[in-house]
Structure 1
């Protein structure tokens, strides 16, 4: 029998304040990224103090939130903005875009790097291996929240998402009763959030972390990140339900996620090729950077 995704999306309630698992995943992703980066900073991988590094992580988190929200509304909800511009500010209603968040992070990195006098891609190469853990946790938050589900499947690991059954007009109790009677088995869907957790989170992190364990030519780590994420996201989109407000954009199967991932694949290849013309970097000097 398929699994019924009946997890409470609210992790903690403090009176009128509800803390959702999805929001906690952003916090955990930021903390993990900060901790991993701190380890690399102590190895002399970035010419910055701990205080400057903390600023970088803070700017990056702001870039994720602002860029993610702007990207979602521009890529997936532009008509909603036209009808109600204030919808852009209602972040509690959900809606974040990885591609928009990526642009936000790159803008934050560019600002920080310019202030520090560090080459942009040296910072991006440092940050790239810190990102997948946050991506994976975000996809786990999507699964807990029962959103961004996959297409229908009869595979044994299919999942029934109650939010995908709103068209039935049933209460939660009625859906549970139908599930227990085996009458919702045909509504099982690919847990595409967990596929992305595995690929964009676990696999991407392991590959990038191990690849960047040794000094690499400039652009190489960034290029590998862009190429692998683009390929993983493009592939999972084949089993992920397209956004209802957009549907398929071409050929009866092309989604917005695939269109936005194609430039990443191209950029990744270009950066990897360009990295081959860069000199080998000097070995980093271990030890915490001097405080200022």
Structure 2
């Protein structure tokens, strides 16, 4: 593979590529954007609940469960994938699919505890999940992680301080082939796949948000989300720099993506029939009189 010296580094004034300095505090760009992602997803759930005349407090319950389950799930998946048990106590070491599964499990468990039917939780979280994921990928960009394979496109970027940096030596460990004699310390321009994912998932959010008044069964929109998320990730993985292409050219994330798409199609098929207009709002989602009076 021939590498051309195109691409650029991102000058971020007053912001280190890895850390944002707020006085004595050091906050990673990833940590900051994860917080923003959860808050914005919670806000989207709250807006949808308010629009439906339902109890807005459920949004906070969902976000808390998603944060807790997402962190635990992302850590466990990473450890199972790499065998690095010490990562449980490290700041880094997260895998999105583990976080997704852990977050979904925790949110559904919270819904069960609050006596909210799973279908309602699925319906309310479909669009916010896409929003949160898109914003979270901005955090990956800020710490120069999860980038793609070498590229000569005008928007290709170099990450000399990436995790790891986009050098010939590091990319070679991810099954990228270079001509013999290439300087192993050469910094290479790569696909900014973090930005690709942010763009695609924010578009998915916009579409899912417009589908709030769909006439299918409650929860149908979650199936649409699974299809969109799985398709997006499968396609972006084609140009991702990865070291886990265990099934020929396919990564573990691509295999998982296909399962998401298949599950999404099944959910859409199962819930495609319109519900009767007389379907009642779950009691747990009915606003309390005190909450209504305080509005």
Please give the TM-score of this superposition, normalised by the length of structure 2.
0.80
Superposed, 1:34-73 pairs within 5 Å as 34-44=42-52, 46=54, 49-73=55-79
- The answer to whether the 8 A contact 1:43-1:284 is kept is no
Answer with 212-221 or 275-284: which moved more.
275-284
Other-structure match for 2:241: 241
1: CA distance, partners of 2:107 / 2:80: 22
Aligned partner of 1:10 among 8, 19, 29: 19
2: CA distance, partners of 1:249 / 1:230: 18
Matched, 1:19 2:27: yes
- The answer to whether the 8 A contact 1:73-1:88 is kept is yes
Q: How large is the RMSD of aligned CA atoms in angstroms?
A: 2.6
Gaps of 5+ in 2: 1-5, 171-184, 291-295
Please give the TM-score of this superposition, normalised by the length of structure 1.
0.80
2: CA distance, partners of 1:160 / 1:23: 22
Other-structure match for 2:176: none
1: CA distance, partners of 2:253 / 2:27: 28
Other-structure match for 1:167: 169
Q: 1:140 to 1:52 in 2, by over 3 A?
A: closer
Superposed, 1:121-132 pairs within 5 Å as 121-132=119-130
Deviation by residue 1:101-160 (Cα, 9 ceiling, x = unmatched): 111122122222212222112111111111122111111111111111101111111111
Gaps of 5+ in 1: 169-182
2: CA distance, partners of 1:161 / 1:269: 38
**Higher RCO structure (Cα 8 Å, ≥6 apart):** 1
Q: 1:149 to 1:70 in 2, by over 3 A?
A: same
Report how many residues are paired.
Answer: 260
Runs of 4 or more off by more than 6 Å in structure 1? none
Matched, 1:255 2:251: yes
